[in-house]
Each structure stands twice: as C-alpha cells, then as structure tokens.
Structure 1
Amino acid sequence: MTEVPNPYIIDADTLTGEMRPIRRAVLSLGSNLGDRLANLQDALNTLAETPDVWVTTISPVYETEPVDSPEGAELYLNAIVLADTTLTPTRLLDRALTIEDAYGRSRSGIFNEPRTLDIDVIAVGDKILEEESLTLPHPRAHQRAFVLKPWLDLEPAAELPGKGPIAALFEQSDQTGITRRDDLVLEL
C-alpha cells in the first residue's frame, strides 16, 4: 500500500507568498587565513545586511586549534551568530556559501583545508533535515567545542535538536585548544 501525504499538514518551507515562519538560526563563523578577525567581521556585516535575516547577537571570539585539518594549518578564530530568519534552511545555506565565495573561500577538495571564511548552518529552529546539500542540525556540531562553547556563552539553556542540551554536549567534547579572546571583539 502506498502512503498518501496528509493534505492537512503544511510544510512552512514550501509556502508561497509573503508569510513565512520566523525561526532562530545558529550560524558558526570561522577563519584561519588572512586577517581572520576582519574576515569574521565582514561575514557578520554581510549576514546582517541579508534580506529576511535579522542578526540578534554574536558570541565572544575564540581562537582554536584546527580540527582534522592538513598539517601546518594555522589557528582559527571562531564565533557563533544567532539570527532570526524567514529564509528556508536551504536558502540560508545558499546565502552562507555565497558570502564565503565573496571572501575568497577556496574549495579545492582537500578535507578541512585552511579557509578565509567558513560559515556553517548549525541549526534552524527545531528543524531536522537530511538532504544532499544540507543536514540539520549540523552533523558534527555536537562534537565541536568551537561551536558549543561560544553558543553556550549566548544561550546556556539551548538544545541542539535531536542531540540534547549544548551544556551537556560541551562537557562531553574535547575542549583542548580553545581559548576565549576577549581582546578580539566583533561588532553588530
């Protein structure tokens, strides 16, 4: 027997017209090439100028050891951005990739290669999604202290959909090589 989709269930991401739900998005910013702080600030400014994206807060900046990167990779600067958006998760990812490209992101195919800018969509509301181009929540966010700690600074009671409280996830993560840099500040 073939299952027929329920016509009474509305997928908010396929709605047309002016009305779309507003969801909280968690985005991770990272850079380990060039002027790292300027790269993060430029990314933040560009996100804030994006139609249908309202940046609400930015975490402190952390300097972190590269994870699973080629030998000799430089230290990263990382931060978390919280934003409200009416964009679908896929459109938000498209915007993030466009911003990365605008700031010289190289995609040579080397796994976790050094980068001028990296913007990861960590979570969008409580959406759980697995598509070819996007998995939500981000499939490795629950293991990454450089994502969890700055997010924890902003929302101590936050939960990663399907994974649990970020405070507990942070306690279980490898916290070596992560240093808060209060001398480096991103401005909204």
Structure 2
Amino acid sequence: MHRRADVRLTPAIAYVGLGSNLAHPRRQLARALVRLAKLPHTRVLAVSRNFVSAPIGATDPQPDYVNAVARLSTSLSPRALLARLLAIERRHGRRRPAGTLPNAPRPLDLDLLLYGRVRVRLPSLVLPHPRMHERAFVLRPLIDVAPTTTIPGHGLARRLIRNVRGQRIAPTRAHVLH
C-alpha cells in the first residue's frame, strides 16, 4: 500500500546506478533489474551496457565493480523510490551496519542518481547524487543510456566525462540482462 504522498500524478524520469563487486556481480545486476521492473508505478525504459571499473577510494584490495545505469519512468516520489531501492539492496544481502566503510565491497549498490531535474538536499537523500559528476562508473553508463543528459548544477554528462579520464572503466561484452 502506498501513501498518497509517495505517488505523483505525473511520472518523472529517474536514473538509477547499479553496481556490484561481490557474489557474481553480473547476476546481481540482472536480478536487481528484474526487481526494478516490478516496482509499482514504475517502468524500466532503458538499461546501459555493463561496465567494469576499478574500485574508487577503497582502503583494502577488492574486486572490480560491474556497473550499469537504468532509466526509469516512475510516479513514485524520490523518497519512496529510494526506500524501494534500499529494500532491493537488502534482499540482495547488502548490509549497512554502523561503522561500515563507505567504499567497502558490496553484493549490490543501487543509487538514485537523478530524478527529473529535481534538486533535493536531505539527510537521507541528495539529488542529483552528490558525486556522480566525478565518477566514470556513473557517467559512462549514463551517457550510454541517455547521451544528452544534463546533471543539474554540473552540466552535460558527456562533457563531464572528460574530467575523469584517469579512472579505469571499460564496457563488457554482455548487457546487464545476460
């Protein structure tokens, strides 16, 4: 059941970043995408290719990440959508205990990157995602799925990618659904 405040009358276009570096990452992304497609008041419009990227900011060695971006049409509010994304992460074994390092390995990471042109700054939600313009593992798949996307306050994603050239990232042969 949804509270009236959780559902908008007009759908918004939202972009969700998917990432995994534990427990069969490609399979994790494929299963997460199936769950995204089952969200109420939400349709998956497009999904990028998979990209493999090196961990950023990790203090200990860890496996590479597999990343993708999904473009959604949703009538869920930003907060309701974020709550659903966190629930999907938990179903995939993601735990966020106090004291956990922010760049620790994870079976699944779902980030609400953009929600229309909405800008939000709450303790539990910041839109656009605060570091997305600095991350090749977000920008490359975002450009793949929506090449003309502008990140509010930062500019065109395809221009921002020039600022992160030193980050190792490469497309894989398999699409997120395979």
Are 1:185 and 2:175 counterparts?
yes
Evaluate the alpha carbon distance shift between residue 19 and residue 112 of structure 1 in structure 2; reply closer, same or farther with a 3 A threshold: closer
Higher relative contact order (CA 8 A, sep 6+): 2
**Whose radius of gyration is greater, 1 or 2?**
1
Are 1:52 and 2:37 counterparts?
no
Give SS of 2:124's match: coil
Displacement of 1:186 after TM fit? 2.0
Paired residues of 1:62 and 1:178 also in contact (CA < 8 A): yes
Aligned equivalents of 2:85 and 2:5: distance in 1? 22
**What's 2:161 paired with?**
170
Give SS of 2:18's match: strand
Moved more, 64-73 or 116-125: 64-73
Aligned equivalents of 1:104 and 1:58: distance in 2? 23
Displacement of 1:111 after TM fit? 2.0
Evaluate the alpha carbon distance shift between residue 21 and residue 35 of structure 1 in structure 2; reply closer, same or farther with a 3 A threshold: same
Deviations 1:116-160 (A, max 9, x none): 000000000000000010000000000001100111112211101
Paired residues of 1:33 and 1:114 also in contact (CA < 8 A): yes
**What's 2:108 paired with?**
117
Structure 1: where are the runs of 5+ without partners?
Answer: 1-13
Deviations 1:8-57 (A, max 9, x none): xxxxxx97597622100000000000111110001000000011110001
Identity of aligned pairs, percent?
Answer: 33
Paired residues of 1:144 and 1:174 also in contact (CA < 8 A): no
> Runs in 1 of length 4+ with deviation above 6 angstroms?
none
Aligned equivalents of 2:8 and 2:85: distance in 1? 23
With normalisation by structure 2, the TM-score equals: 0.92
Aligned equivalents of 1:85 and 1:17: distance in 2? 11
Cα RMSD after superposing both structures: 1.8
Residues 26-37 of structure 1 mapped to structure 2, 5 A cutoff: 26-37=15-26
